[in-house]
């Protein structure tokens, strides 16, 4: 088994690297295609966290399904068939019902837990975004003497994350308790039936009872991880959902079909009744007109220097088109 696992891991390396590379490149390309308005309003820490989780979730999802979930289901089918043939239909029914109840309960409760996992992810993203954005804007924080405010905001973000984490862990304990009840009930029922058939000499011996108990315990070992795998799959789906939300961000500036590269040999910058705003709620410039000839400098005579930045922003957006 060790050799087969190592061979599987070796063959999976290239697949994992290819998947990670293509997803990260596509996501990175899409983020660079978004508008300046979106990048000015984004939270760097949250975007980086979503990118890391999203790329890892795809590989983890494939790994869990192909090498954990599918083999476990095949193992259950083989066990049911074995007990029907080697013992009788009742043992096959007991194993089938126990496994079915276990899987059904795991899926139902895990689906219920998904909303708590999603809230925990959002709180975690908010916490990371708060810390990264605060440190990136360290100079501005110092200018305004807002260190205490930033610390309090970070403390609040951590508390919100821990509350969401606590709810997620409580629901996990509920799931584990129900799983143990189902497993113990199935093992107890099968043991009592086996003991009855041994005592009344209905074709089973003590060795058959040992075989039944050993097989069931061995079967429950991978099944015990089924809930963990399913929870991991649900978590990966949530992480992928956050990544797909980034990919679904629409481009505001799209080149016309067949548009060629912009070649400027000698031109000029002209503002003709330009109205500019990042959002429709607040207009920054309205009906502004002026011309900057090629090779000339143009002085903007406003007392507030920030307007110069807005003009440069408009020019950059035009060039990015």
Per-residue pLDDT tens over the stretch 221-269: 777 777 778 778 877 888 888 888 888 877 766 777 777 777 777 777 7
Q: 198 and 300: one domain?
A: no
Give the three-state DSSP class for 287. Answer: strand
Domain contains 282 = yes
Give 141-147 contacts, CB < 8 A, sequence gap 24+.
Answer: none
Q: What are phi and psi of 126, to 5 degrees?
A: -65, -40
How many Å apart are CA 169 and CA 163, to the nearest integer? 10
- Nearest residue to 317 (alpha-carbon basis) of 48, 47, 39, 28: 39
Domain contains 166 = yes
CATH number at residue 193: 1.20.1560.10
Domain contains 65 = yes
Q: Which two tokens stand for residue 147?
A: 């260190």
Residue 166 has pLDDT above 90, yes or no: yes
pLDDT at residue 163 in the model:
93
Q: 163 and 82: one domain?
A: yes
Residue 198 has pLDDT above 90, yes or no: no
Q: 151 and 63: one domain?
A: yes
Percent of the chain with pLDDT over 70: 86
Mean pLDDT of 142-163: 89
Q: 240 and 275: one domain?
A: no
Q: 284 and 207: one domain?
A: no
Q: Does residue 207 or residue 284 have the better pLDDT?
A: 207
Total-model pTM:
0.58
Per-residue pLDDT tens over the stretch 276-302: 776 666 777 778 787 777 766 666 655
**What is the average pLDDT value for the chain, to the nearest integer?**
80
- Residue 297 structural domain: 269-320
Q: Which helix (H) or strand (E) holds 129?
A: helix 89-136
How many domains is the chain built from? 2
| Residue finishing a domain among 190, 213, 248 | 248
């Amino acid at each position: 088994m060790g050799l087969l696992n190592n061979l599987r891991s070796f063959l999976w390396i290239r697949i994992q690297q290819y998947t990670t590379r293509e997803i990260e490149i596509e996501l990175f390309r899409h983020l660079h295609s978004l508008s300046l308005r979106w990048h000015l309003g984004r939270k760097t820490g949250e975007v980086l966290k979503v990118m890391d989780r999203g790329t890892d979730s795809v590989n983890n999802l494939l790994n869990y399904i192909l090498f954990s979930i599918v083999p476990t289901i095949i193992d259950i089918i083989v066990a049911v068939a074995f007990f029907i043939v080697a013992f009788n239909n009742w043992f096959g029914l007991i194993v089938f019902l126990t496994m079915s109840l276990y899987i059904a309960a795991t899926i139902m409760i895990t689906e219920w837990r998904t909303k708590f996992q999603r809230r925990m992810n959002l709180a975690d993203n908010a916490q990371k975004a708060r810390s990264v954005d605060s440190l990136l804007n360290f100079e501005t924080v110092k200018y305004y003497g807002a260190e205490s405010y930033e610390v309090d905001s970070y403390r609040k973000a951590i508390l919100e994350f821990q509350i969401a984490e606590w709810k997620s862990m409580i629901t996990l304990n509920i799931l584990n308790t129900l799983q143990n009840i189902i497993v113990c009930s199935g093992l107890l029922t099968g043991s009592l039936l086996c003991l009855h058939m041994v005592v009344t000499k209905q074709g089973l011996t003590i060795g058959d009872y040992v075989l039944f108990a050993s097989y069931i315990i061995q079967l429950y070992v991978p099944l015990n991880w089924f809930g963990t795998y399913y929870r991991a799959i649900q978590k990966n789906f949530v992480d992928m959902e956050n990544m797909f939300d980034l990919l679904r961000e629409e481009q505001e500036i799209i080149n016309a079909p067949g548009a060629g590269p912009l070649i400027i040999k000698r031109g000029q910058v002209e503002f003709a009744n330009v109205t500019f705003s990042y959002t429709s709620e607040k207009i920054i410039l309205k009906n502004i007109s002026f011309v900057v000839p090629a090779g000339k400098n143009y002085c903007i005579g406003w007392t507030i220097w920030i307007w110069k930045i807005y003009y440069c922003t408009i020019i950059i957006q035009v060039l990015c088109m």
